[in-house]
């Protein structure tokens, strides 16, 4: 199975594509960032992001898209709102290509990859680097985060009882 994980953002969206074989071995296929013009109007930035997501999904035979759930820190509600725009574009493009989506909480992703649900960006980068046997840390941190999302989705998708994480009804709490 090929899984594409996304770390949504309006300035840059990290993506990571992995393959998982029947022995559950994970292999990195591609990772990077999709950038939008930070000075463009919101609608244009979303269109640029949509084109990039579409291109990434088109280029690979993605069987599952994984994306971090929205969270909001009380001191930064604007960040959650902006992330929601980018996340919506990713969900739209996955739906257009008939690809199932898994929604994962940030703490679940961090705990799966590092063992600590409150891991730092650097801890995430190091854990992803080690898990995928990379020669250097994934840069920028959005790439490591996207790969972590994909890796966590791989584990969740192998455990049917945990697939409730992709149930959209759970997102309307």
Residue 172 pLDDT grade (very low, low, confident, very high; cuts 50, 70, 90): very low
Pairwise CA distance, residues 85 & 5, whole Å: 17
Catalytic annotation, residues: 7, 68, 142
Here the tokens at position 45 are 């930035």
Q: pLDDT class for 171, splitting at 50, 70, 90?
A: very low
Chain segment 140-162, per-residue pLDDT in tens: 999 999 999 999 999 988 775 55
Q: Residue 60, class by beta-carbon neighbours within 10 Å (0-12 exposed, 13-18 middle, 19+ buried)?
A: middle
pLDDT digits (tens, 9 = 90+) for 88-115: 999 999 999 999 999 999 999 999 999 9
What is the structure's pLDDT at 160? 54
Domain boundaries, given as residue ranges, for the chain: 2-171
* pLDDT surpassing 50 at residue 40: yes
What are the b/e assignments for 91-116, b being 16+ CB within 10 Å?
bebbeeeebebbbbebebbbebbbee
- pLDDT number for residue 161: 53
Non-local CB neighbours of 12 within 8 Å, separated by 6+ positions: 33, 34, 35, 36, 140, 142
CA distances from 91 to 5, 8, 27, 47, 116 (A): 12, 11, 24, 13, 27
CATH architecture under which domain 2-171 falls: 2-Layer Sandwich (3.30)
Question: Where does the pLDDT of residue 167 fall: very low under 50, low under 70, confident under 90, or very high at 90 and above?
Answer: very low
* Strands ordered across the beta sheet of 64-68: 26-35, 12-20, 2-7, 64-68, 100-104
Q: Are 155 and 112 in contact (CB under 8 A)?
A: yes
């Amino acid at each position: 199975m090929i899984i594409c994980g996304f770390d949504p953002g309006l300035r840059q969206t990290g993506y990571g594509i992995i393959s998982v074989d029947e022995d559950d071995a994970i292999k990195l296929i591609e990772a990077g960032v999709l950038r939008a013009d930070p000075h463009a109007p919101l609608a244009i930035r979303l269109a640029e992001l949509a084109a990039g997501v579409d291109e990434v999904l088109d280029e690979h035979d993605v069987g599952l898209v994984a994306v971090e759930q929205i969270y909001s820190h009380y001191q930064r509600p604007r960040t959650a709102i902006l992330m929601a725009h980018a996340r919506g574009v990713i969900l739209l493009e996955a739906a257009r290509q008939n690809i199932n989506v898994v929604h994962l909480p940030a703490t679940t992703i961090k705990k799966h990859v590092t063992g600590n649900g409150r891991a730092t960006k650097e801890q995430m980068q190091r854990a992803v680097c080690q898990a995928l046997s990379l020669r250097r840390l994934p840069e920028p941190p959005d790439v490591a985060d996207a790969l972590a999302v994909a890796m966590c989705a791989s584990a969740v998708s192998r455990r049917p009882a945990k697939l409730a994480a992709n149930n959209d009804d759970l997102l309307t709490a």
